[in-house]
């Protein structure tokens, strides 16, 4: 300070000031990363609820781990997704791009990988994992098991490491299950929503043994009133009033197990980014073991193994977990 005052008195010196240290524009609170996305603080209750900001200190993802969103397609020109999308596929019309004409797939994609810390819109759970848009549902939000199976096979053959399936029905299908097995045998992580009918009737593809099944929680941490449940449930994730990208370069808050599932798909992508050596079944094991137990002690039909926890999962995946998180 004395040196600055001395220089300020010198008529040949225009100004004198300290050399301040600048840092990257990541706000950190208690070690967590807080992105500057416009809607994050006001609407994205879901990410802090599963410790995502703390998890970002361990992994923000990598471009090499691609997440396929097998759904209604994706808004290919959405400014909060542009640059994060790979080439995709349209199983409804193979000659057309996988453009979303419903909104559902765009919303799911944003939960996984909307551009984070870009000063606008919402933050995705992953910063760098790319999204593969695969359209298997038409403009009414419907699609056959055949189109879904074709979409899964295409995603596997074109490099997807994680596949999100926010779709389903209560009838299984042999060709669909064959496609699921095809993906699983090729070390792809398969994540699926359980359904929104408040029933324990198994829904497919979530109930296939090769698939990791996800139900939804509300803002209070309980099972959402609409969420399906049952003995096949693996974990739960936030699914009520989830803010994300939407068609027409817009944003929307939607509810459903469809919104819960991509949280888990994104976590799987972060895990595979942090530790590429893990197999798909090992990724499943990490997410189950690191989940926060809810409801009855141990696995139960309401919450499965519990609520996903990003930081605990990534600690476990990278060998930095405290003893209680690995138990």
Clarify whether 71 is annotated catalytic: yes
96: exposed, middle or buried (Cβ count in 10 Å: 0-12, 13-18, 19+): exposed
* Distance between CA atoms of residues 305 and 288, nearest Å: 6
What backbone torsions phi and psi does residue 30 show, to the nearest 5 degrees? 55, 40
In the set 215, 244, 258, 261, the catalytic residue is: 258
Q: Which of 104, 107, 177, 184 is catalytic?
A: 104
- Contact criterion met (CB below 8 Å) for 97 and 108: no
The catalytic position among 54, 71, 80, 234 is: 71
CB within 8 Å of 308: residues ≥ 6 apart: 50, 235, 236, 237, 263, 264, 267, 287, 290, 291, 292
Is 234 catalytic? The answer is no
**Residue 304 gets which letter from DSSP?**
B
Compute the chain's Rg from CA coordinates.
Answer: 21
Q: Which residues contact 75 (CB under 8 A, 6 or more apart)?
A: 81, 99, 100, 106, 245, 246, 247, 248, 249
Beta bridge partner(s), residue 192:
165, 213
- Annotated catalytic residue 227: no
Question: CA-to-CA distance for 59 and 43, rounded, in angstroms?
Answer: 23
For the annotated catalytic residues, the residue numbers are 71, 104, 258
């Amino acid at each position: 300070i004395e040196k600055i005052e001395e220089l300020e008195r010198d008529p040949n010196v225009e100004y004198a000031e300290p050399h301040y240290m600048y840092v990257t524009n990541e706000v950190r609170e208690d070690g967590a990363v807080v992105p500057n996305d416009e809607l994050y603080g006001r609407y994205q209750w879901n990410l802090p609820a599963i410790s995502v900001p703390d998890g970002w200190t361990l992994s923000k993802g990598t471009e090499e781990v691609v997440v396929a969103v097998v759904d209604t397609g994706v808004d290919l020109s959405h400014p909060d997704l542009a640059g994060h999308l790979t080439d995709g596929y349209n199983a409804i019309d193979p000659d057309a791009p996988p453009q979303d004409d419903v909104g559902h797939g765009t919303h799911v994609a944003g939960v996984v990988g909307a551009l984070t810390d870009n000063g606008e819109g919402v933050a995705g759970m992953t910063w760098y994992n790319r999204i593969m848009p695969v359209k298997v549902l038409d403009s009414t939000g419907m699609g056959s098991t055949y189109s879904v199976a074709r979409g899964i096979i295409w995603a596997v053959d074109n490099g997807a490491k994680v596949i999100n399936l926010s779709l389903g029905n209560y009838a299984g299908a042999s060709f669909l299950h064959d496609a699921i097995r095809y993906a699983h045998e090729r070390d792809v992580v398969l994540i699926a929503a359980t359904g929104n009918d408040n029933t324990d009737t198994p829904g497919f593809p979530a109930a296939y043994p090769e698939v990791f099944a996800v139900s939804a929680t509300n803002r209070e941490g309980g099972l959402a009133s609409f969420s399906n449940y049952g003995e096949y449930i693996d974990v739960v994730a936030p699914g009520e009033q989830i803010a994300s990208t939407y068609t027409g370069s817009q944003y929307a808050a939607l509810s459903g197990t469809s919104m819960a599932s991509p949280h888990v798909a994104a976590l799987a992508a972060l895990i595979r980014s942090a530790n590429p050596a893990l197999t798909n079944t090992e990724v499943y094991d990490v997410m189950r073991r690191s989940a926060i137990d809810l409801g009855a002690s141990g696995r139960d039909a309401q919450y499965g193994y519990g609520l996903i926890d990003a930081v605990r999962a990534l600690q476990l995946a990278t060998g930095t977990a405290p003893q209680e998180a690995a138990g």
